[in-house]
Structure 1
Amino acid sequence: MDAGLAAVLGALAGSVATIGAALATGWAQREGARITARAEHRRERREPRQSVYKVLISEASQLRDSSAPFAVHPDLYPVFEEEPEARWRQLVTAIKEASTDAALAGPPEVSEAAISLSRGASALLAELCVYNIVDEDGQRDARVRLFLQSQEFDSSVTVFIIAAQAALDDDGSRK
């Protein structure tokens, strides 16, 4: 091989290496920018989600606490000093609104848990209202249904809390 050909091949190899390095650098910069943008997007999504989830958990916890006497045992007779049905209706309405917000905030696992929580609140309200109007013969059956529904609602609150925690802790490395 003569010196001219060696010089041309050397220059060609240098050019290819420079182009490869430029492509690799460009790819790394784009990847770094994408990672930074994704992290910022997750942070921006996390803050509103947290406040939406917090509202739903607060409302659901109030209903759970209000109906807790029914979740102890079906043979116990909770006695209320005042008529709680209006308060229960108010809480269920608030839960439905908050669960819609939580379902829209996502992700899908939280949306499913929020929808289930809302349905559970409505079912609990229905049982609470039936309990208030049944005669003495139907009291035992109404208490058993209310006992079971109270426990199911309590479970759905827990499921929502766990799903919300997982969503807030997700750093994007899973999937």
Structure 2
Amino acid sequence: MDAGWVALLGASVTAIAAVGAAATSGWLMHRQVRTVARAEHRRERAGPREEAYEDFLQTALVIQDYLAVIYDENFRSRYIDSELAERVCHAYYRMYGQRAKLLLVGPPAVSQAAESMVDDMASLELYIRVFRQAPVPALFRRMWQRLDDLVNHTQEFIGAARLALDEESGPDPLNG
């Protein structure tokens, strides 16, 4: 081989390597831009979800605080006055209205836990209205059980909401 062929072969190898490096660099840059865009999209989606979860949870905790005052340390009912009944009722309707947003932002585990909490509250609200008219001990026990169910379903909701928010802010499962 003479020097001309060696120079031509060297130039060809260099050109192929340069094209390969440019293509690899472009592909890596595209992947990085896509990863950054996905992360930004996740952050934008997490904001409304977190707000919906927080509003719903705050309402549930207020209801639980309201209901805690009707029990003394021996788990006997105190008198449920009309003001307390109305506050619980108003908070329940607020919770019921917030449910729609949770059904939209999901995911299913959070929505199911929220539905269970709303069902518990529907029963509690009815029991409170009836109990005010006729304070029957059996009804009080049912109220107590539903309040316990509400507390347990609230914990399920918190766990599902944390998991959903962690999944949104965690690493992209497609890109590791």
Q: Fold conserved (TM > 0.5)?
A: yes
User: SS at 1:84's partner residue?
Assistant: helix
What is the Cα deviation at residue 71 of structure 1?
A: 6.5
For 2:103, the equivalent position in structure 1 comes to: 103
Q: What is the TM-score of this pair, normalised by structure 2? A: 0.80
What is the Cα deviation at residue 25 of structure 1?
A: 0.8
Q: How does 1:61-100 map to 2 (within 5 A)?
A: 61-69=61-69, 76-100=76-100
For 2:158, the equivalent position in structure 1 comes to: 161
Q: How does 1:16-165 map to 2 (within 5 A)?
A: 16-69=16-69, 76-134=76-134, 139-165=136-162
**Percent of residue pairs bearing the same amino acid type:** 30
After TM superposition, the structure 1 stretch with the greater mean CA deviation from structure 2, 67-76 or 82-91, is 67-76
Q: How does 1:7-18 map to 2 (within 5 A)?
A: 7-18=7-18
For 2:170, the equivalent position in structure 1 comes to: 172
- Residues 100 and 17 (structure 1), Cα distance of their counterparts in 2 relative to 1, 3 Å cut: same
What is the Cα deviation at residue 173 of structure 1?
A: 1.6
Number of residue pairs matched by the alignment: 172
Q: Is the 8 A contact 1:127 1:149 kept in 2?
A: no
What is the Cα deviation at residue 8 of structure 1?
A: 4.0
After TM superposition, the structure 1 stretch with the greater mean CA deviation from structure 2, 97-106 or 59-68, is 97-106
Q: Is the 8 A contact 2:71 2:77 kept in 1?
A: no
Q: Is the 8 A contact 2:120 2:149 kept in 1?
A: yes
Deviation by residue 1:89-130 (Cα, 9 ceiling, x = unmatched): 211110011122123223333233222222222232233233
Q: Which runs of 4+ in 1 moved over 4 A?
A: 1-5, 69-75
- Residues 143 and 174 (structure 1), Cα distance of their counterparts in 2 relative to 1, 3 Å cut: farther
Q: Is the 8 A contact 2:131 2:140 kept in 1?
A: yes
- Residues 47 and 68 (structure 1), Cα distance of their counterparts in 2 relative to 1, 3 Å cut: same
Q: Which runs of 5+ in 2 are unaligned?
A: none
- Residues 148 and 8 (structure 1), Cα distance of their counterparts in 2 relative to 1, 3 Å cut: same
Q: What is the TM-score of this pair, normalised by structure 1? A: 0.80
